[in-house]
Amino acid sequence: MNETRPKQSNFIRDIVDADLESGKHLNIITRFPPEPNGYLHIGHAKSICLNFDTAEEKGGECHLRFDDTNPEKEEEEFIEAIKADVAWLGYSWGEHLYHASNYFDQLYQFAVELIQNGKAYVEDLTAEEIRTYRGTLTTPGKESPCRDRSIEDNLDLFERMRAGEFGNGEHVLRARIDMSSPNLNMRDPVLYRIRHANHPMTGDRWSIYPMYDFTHSLSDAIEGITHSLCTLEFEDHRPLYDWCIENVSAPSRPRQIEFSRLNLEYTVMSKRLLTQLVDQQQVEGWDDPRLPTLVGLRRRGFTPESIRLFINRVGVTKKDHTIQMSLLENSAREVLDQTTPRRLAVLDPIKVIIDNYPDGQSELLDAINHPNFPERGSRKIPFSKEIWIERADFMEEAPKKFFRLSPGREVRLRFAYLITCKEITKDSEGKIVTIHCDHDPASRGGNAPDGRKVKGTIHWVCAQHAVEATVRLYDRLFQVAHPLADPAEGFGQRLNPDSLKIIRNCKLEPGLEESAPESRFQFERLGYFCSDRHDHTPEHPVFNRIVPLRDSWSKIEKATPVKKK
């Protein structure tokens, strides 16, 4: 995949470059190792981009490997969704698609090797007792009564665990390291646990499953990974990562390097909390366009290019921080501004009748597809006596700086004519239902023949040929930038009640109903929109707003006083 924008230098690229220059590695191999127990979110996109880009830039390879060691939570649905997300972002793993379950036999033999060398033992204590024996950050742990069990007994028990003789939780296999280590991860961590569950890949062949730290490090070693890139929460796990590799006959010695995870304002990036939102039906599934999931962002209309641009701008550091949502939205605008054709749409329509336009007449006007790229051509749009305009583009009593339509005021119809409001009609409740105007026939194209200046330009849609559509206006999921800032207050109480507004009977220029799902457009003066990938049909067009033309939240944030603690 080629990016026109150069990649930013970072400390990980510096390490990789140094390893290549010194001859430590002749080829770079990275990996993206998701757990198939949910859908990926934009935080995962940072890891995807970093791992695939780092390998590609150096002529290496990046593996996609599923960490499928917990059969109780893993589903084929998640596996296929993850593959689709990585491919949508523009990356290819080629022949390098793996599962940790591919290595279960080798991992079992590594565990046997540890037992034979006196470095692992079968534990009888319960999970609660193991926690108690482990100690705290300020007090050392206490050795288990099982710690000095003979190698022969440990081998026998471990084989019986594998054979399914014991129930869940009756035994675990623990590494024999150091119960007084200041790093709690090194206080005889659990390497295997019993799980009588059907596995998506191996069925009921196994009754024991390896833990993450054991599996991850040795899977990296089996695959010959050179640089194991992971987020900062695994920094304290690195000694255990290295210990597992150093104490078995591993075929290679990968190096783990940590970087800060991606935290984003106005949303949550926890798989557990995202699952809660979905399960409690506070959103409409994993691909709800308000979620930070990649399937949600895709359905909303974000492009892979805008996600990669955002990730590149975020950069790679070791310092945890929260990224402004506006950076993601502005990355989308920058890409969409260059790539999307322009179209006319009216979301809150009010009828305009041009009284001096001939009855029964219609004409086709030229409308450019993109003002900055004339080579992209133009299209024909119909015009007739009756048109729709946005209700907000008319005011009966307009202030001085209101340059749109009002009684006696002249405005320009985009690509069409200059019109002047003559009168209005209202219903029995006093609501304006029709605006009557005259047009200047000599101003076709929108320019006055006598050179008079008209400040206001508004968009419109021909009433006779308008396409009716449903438009969904998506906004930020939460009302506050940091929805988890106050643990005492449930984050669900901070959901933005206006995060979705559904508008029916919107008026679109003809042809938009025929656009394929996931087609993106700029609706002039309104924002960037995408035809819904599931619900949009020619008979029932549905468009999702990706982002408005401008960031309206920045004004709200500046106007909101900061609470002092």
Q: How far is CA 74 from CA 37, 71, 326, in A?
A: 5, 5, 34
Q: Is 261 a catalytic residue?
A: yes
Helix 76-88 / helix 42-57 crossing angle, nearest 10 deg: 60
CA distance 550 to 554: 9
Helix (H) or strand (E) holding 47: helix 42-57
Among the listed residues 190, 348, 288, the one whose alpha carbon sits nearest the alpha carbon of residue 499 = 288
Q: Encode 80-127 in three state secondary structure.
A: HHHHHHHHHCCCCCCCCEEEHHHHHHHHHHHHHHHHHCCCEEEECCCH
Alpha helices in 194-249, H assignment, sequence order? 212-223, 238-246
Question: What one-character-per-residue DSSP string does 487-550 give?
Answer: TTS-GGGGB-TTSEEEEEEEEE-TTGGGSPTT-EEEETTTEEEEE-TTT--SSS-EEEEEEESS
Q: What are the start-end ranges of the E strands in 294-361?
A: 322-323, 342-343, 345-346, 349-354
Terminal CA-CA length for the chain: 48
Report angle CA 375, 377, 383 to the nearest 5 degrees.
155
Q: Apex CA 245: angle with CA 244 and CA 246, to 5°?
A: 95
Catalytic annotation, pick one of 261, 313, 351, 379 = 261
**Side chain identity at 268, as an amino acid letter?**
V
Which string of b and e fits 123-153 if b means at least 16 CB within 10 Å? bebeeeebeebbbeeeeebeebebeebeeee
Asked if residue 160 lies in contact with residue 168, where contact means CB atoms within 8 angstroms, the answer is: no
CA atoms within 13 A on the CB side of 274: 24
CB 352 within 8 A of CB 387: yes
* List 142, 271, 351, 414, catalytic entry: 271
Q: List, in sequence order, every residue forming a beta bridge with 64; answer none if it has no partner.
A: 32, 97
Among candidate residues 540, 405, 545, the one with its CA nearest the CA of residue 474: 545
Q: Who's near 282: CB < 8 A, 6+ residues apart?
A: 492, 495
Indicate which residue of 3, 7, 13, 35 is catalytic.
Answer: 35
Active site residues: 35, 261, 271
